[in-house]
Structure 1
Amino acid sequence: MAKLGIDMDCLKEAFRLDGPVRSRVADVFAKFEQATHAGLHLEKLNNGRDDRIRTIRIDQFWRGVVLAPESGSTYTLLKVLPHDDAYRWAERHRISVNVANGHIEIRDSEAIEAAIPELSREAQETPQRLLEHVSDSVLADLGVDEQTRAFARELTRVEQLEAAKAFLPATQWETLFGLAAGMTPEEVWTDIGGTAEREPYDTEDVAAAVQRTPERVLLVTGPADLMHVFRESFALWRIYLHPVQYQMAHAEFRGSARITGGPGTGKTVAALHRARHLALQSQGQVLLTTFTSTLASALRRDLSSLLASEDELLRVDVHHIDQLAYQVFQERHGRPAILRKDEEAAVWQRVAKRRKAPYTVAFLAEEWRQVVLAQQATSAGAYLAAKRAGRGRRLGPREKARLWEVIWEFEQELRLYGQWTHETICIEATRILNETADKPYGHVIVDEAQDFSPMQWRLVRTAVAEGVNDLFIAGDTHQRIYKYRPSLREVGIDIGGRSARLSLNYRTTAEILAWGLGMLTDGLIDDMNDGVESIAGYRSQVHGKVPILRGFTSRFDELEGLARQVQAWLDAGVEPGEIGVAARSDMLGSNARDLLERQGIAVRVLAQPGPGNRVQVGTMHGMKGLEFRCIAVIGVGENQVPPATAVTPAAEDERAHAYDLQRERCVVFVACTRAREQLYVSWHGMPSTFLSSVL
């Protein structure tokens, strides 16, 4: 029986075709299982570079290009093109098997051959080659074959390599780009989906390579499946997976595992597919959790497009982490009485006054959260021994003892009146689950992991028994926008040898990504596991306009400039709901909404219920996890970003000062990288120091 695979690039292109053409493609291949090689009328090429590439008639105008293996019965649809274009494409291209990972590859051999002489002429005038630091043996080990190596040896500029993306084999291009960007061979090996055990592959067996490349080729199980694929929206049934994403989403892990990567690299996509895989393969209930209710709603929506039935959806619970804590708490104690921020501040103020303690409410509350709760300091002795690195104010033993008395009395007052905060509910839920032999979940998947607190991590750890495929963690410390900096080891989570890093951005243009990364060049960023995270190799394949940077003399002028920019986007055909406006403060965001409304532009508060298809305005923090076609980030001036109140003075604590600056820099980075196509950044007065390296 003949079977059909569909190349993912072909499938994405097919959804740009008119509906009748798509239906005709489906009709032609609907009886593929019963067809024979001859019955399909697959035509050989007279001048083809690969005897296995054939064409097939779709209608009088369109033809399909098909890979017909020399052995086996799995055929792969590579392209659907106009008649002459299909023949030309088929003649130029060749199919190969990557020797390193055994995956199928497609290359434009004619374009590679034509490019080498031109590169060689330019290289004669340049003393240094782009990849001269990499040996031929390393390239060969990473799957770069002879033809691509010949091309690579003539490269002198990264722009030449970027232009070659269109015709080099995809995996080999990824390898070259990673090495050119400063990644080590080991990092590149992981990036292309290489495994610890290197297997020998038959590079002539393309049918086996197709079977090994599920992230590149969709294998259709029957006519009904084929018709469904071509008649449904691409986004509704499948999200494209890079090899590393696919490997992590479908792997069998002996314990907890983690996937990291910059903005737009597909960490959430991998987490969603991991949830789907575990829901279909395991008997245990799956929890998919994240940091906020807004992000949880987005995960729930996307998961529903991946899981085919209501029964499958019921096997995955999607809750934000506080919701999980409330559920566990409420089952034991009933509904909690949660202190509002102003009520909590009043308790701190009252206790500090009784104890005549010279501390501000903000300092007391953060000391309690960042030190006492984060490190489980339940006694004076434990608090005296607790680490306070980065807390700002240095305290001697006598002062810490006095401070502990204030904290102890605050906690006693909460117990006396039966009052709770989000943190203490989380801690109580953790205690309850620790006493429970039967854990509520067989698997837990965490998205946006970089902003979880130590208290939340301990809750996650107790929600699932330690074992095979227990925890799957997705996050990026470059996008950390809150103060907690926990180590996974310190909260009892071991990911040793089970971690992967994504480097290819699917959302943001190369110009926006490069501009944003330019703000992160100062200082080291931890990896949540007692190491340092790297941005080497982060890249985007999509090019667009460079960010627009505008300075103004006053706040009013800046807001007027914002209104002009938003109107220009609207006039260019951008939908209002695809435009976001981010400010560091609620006040500036409110000012922006008021002015836009006065200009006749419909707006609404970011991520809040309201009329659809309006420009969304909110804080930089509120942009977390969202994306827009166009983003305006306003108020990025020296007196607004970073806010003085958010940064510990260097004279008080240099480490805390550095941590705070790094966090605030990440806040701006997160807001800017929500843009898919266009980014606008403005300020009034002098620009923020964060912009000094990118202006």
Structure 2
Amino acid sequence: MADEDELRLALDFPWERWGVFLHPSQRAMVERSFDGPARVSGSAGTGKTVVALHRAVRLARADPARRILLATFSEPLARELASKVKVLAPEASGIVPRITVSDWANVADELFQLSTGRRPRIAGAEALAELIATAAAEADVRGFSDRFLLSEWTNVVDAWGIDGLEAYAQVPRLGRRSPLGPKQRERLWSVFDRVRSALSARGLFTRSSVYRQVAADYRVRTDKPFGAIIVDEAQDLGPAELVFLSAITPGHADALFFAGDLGQRIFQHPFSWKALGIDVRGRSSTLKVCYRTSRQIRGMADGLLPSALRDPDGNQEDRDGTVSLFDGPAPVVSILDSYEAEIAVVAKFLEDAISDGVAPAEIGIFVRDPASMGRARSAAQRAGVDSEATVALMHLAKGLEFRAVAVVACDEDSLPLQSRIEDAADEGELDDIYETERQLLYVACTRARDRLIVTGITPGSEFLKDL
């Protein structure tokens, strides 16, 4: 674009076209060829997802024999990406059938079924907690709570596929503040070994073990299901997911491309990609042009995060220097005295947006937990947008975009969520909970392009002070 007039024209595009609009400053990452795994990062609104979409279409168009996987963390987001692929490449072009858009869990389940003839039976959270409690009672590991054991299993043993005492004795346990000596690890392994045996006896898998089994199957095969994989929301990949995606694609140029933002990590603990054979150093780029979120919204939301974030491999994402290309109304933070007052304020915000030309389908309303959903729905109903606006949990906001967003019920016990704090196994996990809860609010706020309101009941979330 030559000037701001052209940007204003782009902002007036129909919403479905704006959702795939590629700013010229991002085009280099779409067209560049890489001789190994590559990653693009950047603050919210810098177009990482759009780069991923355009790159998937470009690779499919360049090689008619190559099947492309565009993968992300959830099924709803995969559906959203699939609709955008169709906007970019009409189905008559023959490109759409060669691009599989899916969440990575579903891809793993389908490949597991192709190999074994059955879908994996995944152990639910309650069943897993019961197995750990039973194993702990049998092993008599006094001094370690069931809460700690479940956390250690989830974040260390299962996440890294630890299959024996020797491996457990050497795993670094990144992010864990409670040090464990050799004798302690030996005692704990007696619990985790029982859990592994119990899962096997019942024919149950964890999500991570499905990824590892499919990865082991395809690592030795020359016929890979995809010629290239492009991953959106890559900051929320875990170790098992990363190994799985690497194993199901050939190791040639342009085979693996990741798009993500460390500041939007809300699920996984940080870990070393390089230790798992994925080295993106020298093939990473940070986008600095924010053209999907107004200067006012981005400036406020940036108060939630540090100016620079570093991953365990030393790759640093600098948020300083990011430039927003357009202005909008100042975002509003309102801490109210009652639910009724909050509902009234949010409804007025929505009504004003509608009167200024924002369509109900271009509105998002988000809350932290299901218990607060009624407040969001009441505001939507009062404004008359409940049948078309998106009303959802903050976790489901990732990757989406709206012209107007209301983040509702940011109360003292909701952000950070009190139940998560109570479940923290040690100080390291508590720190990570605070960090991911803060980043979750950042994600929700930056779904707004033009208008944003954030509300809560007195005294409000401690994070609102940073806004």
Per the TM superposition, whether the score is higher than 0.5 is yes
2:138 alignment counterpart: 354
Question: Residue 635 of structure 1 is aligned with which of 409, 431, 440?
Answer: 409
1:271 alignment counterpart: 52
Matched, 1:482 2:255: no
Work out whether residues 389 and 656 of structure 1, in 8 Å CA contact, stay in contact via their aligned partners in 2: no
Measure the CA separation in 1 of the matches of 2:10 and 2:27. Answer: 22
Q: 1:354 to 1:16 in 2, by over 3 A?
A: closer
Question: Residue 550 of structure 1 is aligned with which of 334, 345, 354?
Answer: 334
3-state secondary structure, aligned to 2:285: strand
1:674 alignment counterpart: 447
The Cα of 1:233 is off from its aligned counterpart by 7.4
Work out whether residues 451 and 482 of structure 1, in 8 Å CA contact, stay in contact via their aligned partners in 2: yes
Q: 1:395 to 1:458 in 2, by over 3 A?
A: same
3-state secondary structure, aligned to 2:66: coil
Measure the CA separation in 2 of the matches of 1:437 and 1:650. Answer: 43
Unaligned stretches of 5+ in structure 2?
Answer: none
1:289 alignment counterpart: 71
Deviations 1:200-234 (A, max 9, x none): xxxxxxxxxxxxxxxxxxxxxxxxxxxxxxxx979
Q: 1:684 to 1:235 in 2, by over 3 A?
A: closer
The Cα of 1:454 is off from its aligned counterpart by 0.8
Letter in 2 for 1:321: W
Larger relative contact order, structure 1 or 2 (CA cutoff 8 Å, min sep 6): 2
1:399-438 to 2 correspondence within 5 Å?
399-438=184-223
TM-score (norm 2): 0.90
Matched, 1:563 2:347: yes
Matched, 1:618 2:392: yes
Measure the CA separation in 1 of the matches of 2:73 and 2:425. Answer: 33
1:41 alignment counterpart: none
3-state secondary structure, aligned to 2:452: strand
Measure the CA separation in 1 of the matches of 2:87 and 2:129. Answer: 43
1:121 alignment counterpart: none
Work out whether residues 15 and 234 of structure 1, in 8 Å CA contact, stay in contact via their aligned partners in 2: no
Measure the CA separation in 2 of the matches of 1:651 and 1:349. Answer: 15
Deviations 1:84-125 (A, max 9, x none): xxxxxxxxxxxxxxxxxxxxxxxxxxxxxxxxxxxxxxxxxx
Work out whether residues 281 and 315 of structure 2, in 8 Å CA contact, stay in contact via their aligned partners in 1: no
Work out whether residues 365 and 406 of structure 2, in 8 Å CA contact, stay in contact via their aligned partners in 1: yes
Work out whether residues 236 and 267 of structure 2, in 8 Å CA contact, stay in contact via their aligned partners in 1: yes
Question: Residue 664 of structure 1 is aligned with which of 437, 440, 463?
Answer: 437
3-state secondary structure, aligned to 1:338: coil
Work out whether residues 450 and 528 of structure 1, in 8 Å CA contact, stay in contact via their aligned partners in 2: no
RMSD of aligned C-alpha atoms? Answer: 3.0
Work out whether residues 325 and 429 of structure 1, in 8 Å CA contact, stay in contact via their aligned partners in 2: yes
Larger Rg, first or second structure (1 or 2)? 1
Work out whether residues 351 and 383 of structure 2, in 8 Å CA contact, stay in contact via their aligned partners in 1: no
The Cα of 1:267 is off from its aligned counterpart by 0.8
TM-score (norm 1): 0.62
Letter in 2 for 1:279: A
Identity %: 31
1:150-161 to 2 correspondence within 5 Å?
none
Letter in 1 for 2:84: D
1:449 alignment counterpart: 234
Work out whether residues 577 and 615 of structure 1, in 8 Å CA contact, stay in contact via their aligned partners in 2: yes
Measure the CA separation in 1 of the matches of 2:131 and 2:277. Answer: 33
Q: 1:602 to 1:250 in 2, by over 3 A?
A: closer
2:94 alignment counterpart: 311
Measure the CA separation in 1 of the matches of 2:2 and 2:19. Answer: 13
Work out whether residues 516 and 669 of structure 1, in 8 Å CA contact, stay in contact via their aligned partners in 2: yes
Letter in 2 for 1:307: A
Unaligned stretches of 5+ in structure 1?
Answer: 1-5, 18-231, 604-612
Between Structure 1 and Structure 2, how many residues are aligned? Answer: 463
Measure the CA separation in 1 of the matches of 2:131 and 2:275. Answer: 31
1:328 alignment counterpart: 111
Q: 1:329 to 1:574 in 2, by over 3 A?
A: same
1:87-486 to 2 correspondence within 5 Å?
239-282=20-63, 283-308=65-90, 309-333=92-116, 334-357=118-141, 359-486=144-271
Measure the CA separation in 2 of the matches of 1:400 and 1:238. Answer: 50
Measure the CA separation in 2 of the matches of 1:14 and 1:639. Answer: 43
1:138 alignment counterpart: none
Work out whether residues 238 and 306 of structure 1, in 8 Å CA contact, stay in contact via their aligned partners in 2: no
Measure the CA separation in 1 of the matches of 2:19 and 2:389. Answer: 29
Measure the CA separation in 2 of the matches of 1:255 and 1:534. Answer: 23
1:535 alignment counterpart: 319
The Cα of 1:623 is off from its aligned counterpart by 1.0
